[in-house]
Structure formats: C-alpha cells, structure tokens
C-alpha cells in the first residue's frame, strides 16, 4: 500500500539514484556513438539517391521514427534470442543492458541519418564544385569539405537529439536494465514511496539535461566564433 508523502525521503533517494547515473550515461554515450556511425551509413544512400539502398534506408528510418521506443526495446530484447536460436546460439540469458544499447543504437541511427542528411543538403553545392576544381575526389570532398560543414549546421539538432535520448534511456528499465529508472523501481517496491522516487528521478534527469544544454550552448558559441574568425580572415585575404 502506498505510504503518505514524505519529502524527507527525497533526500535519501537522490544520492542512491545518483549512483546509477553512470550506467545511464554509459548507455547514452555508447548508443549515440555507434548510432551516429550507422546513421552516416544510412544517410549516404539518401543523400546520393542510390537505387534500392535509398528505399531500404528510407523504410528503416520511417520504421524507427514511427514506432515507440518501448516497443523497439521489447522487439530487440526478445528478437535477438529468437534470431540467434536459428543459428543454434543461446542468448536467452543475455544481459538486458546489451539489448537496450542495441535498441538505442538502431533508433538513434534513424534520427542521426535525417540530421546528417539535412545538414549536408544545407551546404552550398559550390563548395563541392570548388573542391573538385582543386583535384579532390568525391570521397575526399565529402569527408574534408561537406561533412564538417554539415555537422556544424546540424549541431543544434544534434544537441536536441542527445537530450531527447537521455530521457528515452529512462525506459530501459522495462526490460530489466538497472539504471537510474531501474533502481527507482526497486526503491518503489521496497519503500512504497513512489511519488518521492519519481520526484527524485525528475530532479536528476532535469539536472543532467540542463548540464547538457549548457555544454551544447557553450560549444555552439565557440563554433560561431570560429566561423566568424574564418570569414574575417577570408575577407582580409581576398582584399589584400
């Protein structure tokens, strides 16, 4: 039975839950790292409209952007053992942490692909033509000229994506991951103070989101300063 609200419980819950923040951040960091790499591979067929691969990438992106993350978690959690069983490999006792990371990699790749594609499309085509004129090939042009500028243009969206997935990691407990939310569920079971636990979780997630916002805001200002400096140098060299 739920006990009466006790605000003093929050003071004890916050430090306990904070001890599981590294697991949450680990899931977030690994998922986004590999998600961006996979997202880049998905974005290329969309950008260059490669037959067949473009349609496959479009379907992949549409599915993962159009289905709830919790549904994806259960599909991957139960799907991996089912697939490996066909090859005679038993993964039924796999740590749910790996299933959660795999899910967030697949899901973040879909969002990253669209962010990268939008950033690339925002780069002036004259940049590529200028690169070709000095002897760079297509791969070099994309890697050295187009992609860096695209990431700069997409940086605000990348920041929003990171914060969004920080909040999405709170659902990993649904498949048994012992992160902050998972630990919160055990505290609710043992203490019967669910409101206090959820308030504690909201404080920690909100604080982490604010920290990320500050970091991305600082990085964005630095990027804009560097862009302004480069434009100034270019203008001075052009007039000299």
Q: pLDDT of 137-193, one tens digit each?
A: 878 888 888 888 888 888 889 999 999 999 999 999 999 999 999 999 999 999 999
Of 206, 168, 198, 204, the closest CA to residue 22 belongs to: 204
Superfamily of domain 8-239: MetI-like (1.10.3720.10)
- The gap between the terminal CA atoms of the chain, to the nearest Å, is 79
Consecutive H or E run containing 32: helix 21-48
State residue 230's pLDDT score. Answer: 46
- If one compares 155 and 14, the residue with the highest pLDDT of the two is 14
Res 238 pLDDT > 60 = no
Q: What is the pTM of this model?
A: 0.86
CA pair distance 201, 221, nearest whole angstrom = 30
State residue 231's pLDDT score. Answer: 43
Res 227 pLDDT > 70 = no
Of 77, 92, 42, 84, the closest CA to residue 62 belongs to: 42
- pLDDT, mean over the chain: 89
- pLDDT (tens digit, 9 = 90+) per residue, 53-103? 999 999 999 999 999 999 999 999 999 999 999 989 998 888 999 999 999
Sorted by where each begins, the domain ranges of the chain are 8-239
Res 229 pLDDT > 50 = yes
């Amino acid at each position: 039975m739920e006990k009466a609200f006790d605000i003093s419980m929050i003071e004890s819950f916050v430090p306990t839950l904070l001890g599981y923040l590294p697991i949450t951040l680990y899931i977030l960091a690994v998922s986004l790292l590999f998600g961006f790499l996979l997202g880049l591979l998905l974005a290329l067929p969309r950008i260059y409209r490669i037959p067949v691969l473009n349609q496959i990438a479009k379907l992949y992106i549409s599915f993962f952007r159009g289905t709830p993350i919790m549904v994806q978690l259960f599909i991957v959690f139960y799907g991996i053992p089912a697939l490996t069983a066909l090859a005679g490999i038993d993964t039924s006792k796999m740590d749910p942490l790996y299933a959660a990371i795999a899910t967030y990699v697949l899901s973040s790749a879909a969002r990253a692909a669209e962010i990268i594609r939008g950033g690339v499309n925002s780069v002036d085509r004259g940049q590529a033509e200028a690169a070709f004129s000095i002897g760079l090939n297509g791969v070099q042009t994309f890697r050295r000229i187009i992609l860096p500028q695209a990431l700069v243009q997409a940086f605000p969206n990348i920041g929003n994506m990171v914060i969004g997935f920080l909040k999405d990691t709170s659902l990993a407990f649904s498949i048994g991951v012992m992160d902050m939310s998972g630990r919160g569920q055990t505290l609710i079971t043992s203490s019967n103070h669910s409101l206090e636990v959820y308030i504690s979780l909201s404080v920690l997630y909100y604080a982490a989101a604010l920290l990320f916002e500050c970091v991305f805001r600082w990085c964005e200002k630095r990027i804009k300063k560097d862009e302004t400096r480069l434009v100034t140098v270019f203008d001075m060299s052009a007039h000299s």
